[in-house]
Structure 1
């Protein structure tokens, strides 16, 4: 498969959004940069992970995608799946070296996202992998503080706080 687009990266981003593994493979074989970023700083990995495409995420990671690239807001793929609640993808990203305590533009972390949005299937994964529960965002709030603000008793239990 030969691609004549002046921006084959755009095809990569589109395939990642759709979870189109065959097209991703073909583009990568043609030499498209697996870590290319679009105008918002999204990589194919960030897009595939955020949209819940496990096989596409795996392929991109195996092809050398960096799980610690930040988008223009400072968010990583792990933050995206912590927001959306995809445990298998979170585990895969962690296995491939995702920074558990990466900070976005608001100093938010994946654990804060999971806590804030009630992703109780993600919190234990992050904690078991060693996420720091003491980090604070720009407002000075920790994951525990966010759980309290939300009245999220389940998250408090998961965080070891009752």
Structure 2
């Protein structure tokens, strides 16, 4: 359920949805997980296509990410910009979130840029090993704006 397709809903319902997205961003597990357990769709999206999992991952809440995955959140759901929760966690340097997402089935080859490309852009060799990236895989990535990124080793 994306918020942009719900403009016909009552203000109270939309306010509730916004509180849930805020709970994902701030790591308010108690509030968010109670709502999910009561029937809130675990893969609910905001008007940018970000899921609760994406917001929790990007904000570094590894325990909440694990709890959402346990409740069957899709670790490979891309937002409207083609970004994955895993690539977002790589970008933010959230190592614990990255590990939880990989263990939860996140595919490092999905999205633009994908997690492997992001790890290569930021020189995160440990993450590349975790992803099983081949030598040179992810080099020459394209950013969402179409800009090419080439990675060179050494000076």
Q: TM-score interval w.r.t. the shorter chain?
A: 0.7 to 0.9
Cα pair 1:114 1:122 within 8 Å, conserved: yes
User: Which one of the candidate residues 75, 91, 115 is aligned to 2:120?
Assistant: 115
> After TM superposition, what 4+ stretches of structure 1 lie above 6 angstroms from structure 2?
none
CA-CA distance at 1:120 after TM superposition: 4.3
CA-CA distance at 1:5 after TM superposition: 3.3
Q: Report the Cα distance in structure 1 between the residues aligned to 2:147 and 2:21, rounded to whole angstroms.
A: 35
CA-CA distance at 1:13 after TM superposition: 0.9
Cα pair 2:76 2:107 within 8 Å, conserved: yes
User: Which one of the candidate residues 52, 70, 79 is aligned to 1:71?
Assistant: 79
Cα pair 1:9 1:32 within 8 Å, conserved: no
CA-CA distance at 1:31 after TM superposition: 0.7
Aligned residue for 2:133, secondary structure, equals coil
In the alignment, structure 2 segments of 5+ residues that lack a partner are 1-10
1:88 equivalent to 2:93? Answer: no
User: Which one of the candidate residues 135, 138, 141 is aligned to 1:137?
Assistant: 141
The change in CA–CA distance for 1:134 and 1:24 in structure 2 (over 3 A counts) is same
Cα pair 1:50 1:80 within 8 Å, conserved: yes
Q: Report the Cα distance in structure 1 between the residues aligned to 2:81 and 2:101, rounded to whole angstroms.
A: 19
Give me the CA root mean square deviation. Answer: 2.5
What is residue 44 of structure 2 aligned with on the other side? 36
Aligned length: 139
In the alignment, structure 1 segments of 5+ residues that lack a partner are 154-162
1:102 equivalent to 2:110? Answer: yes
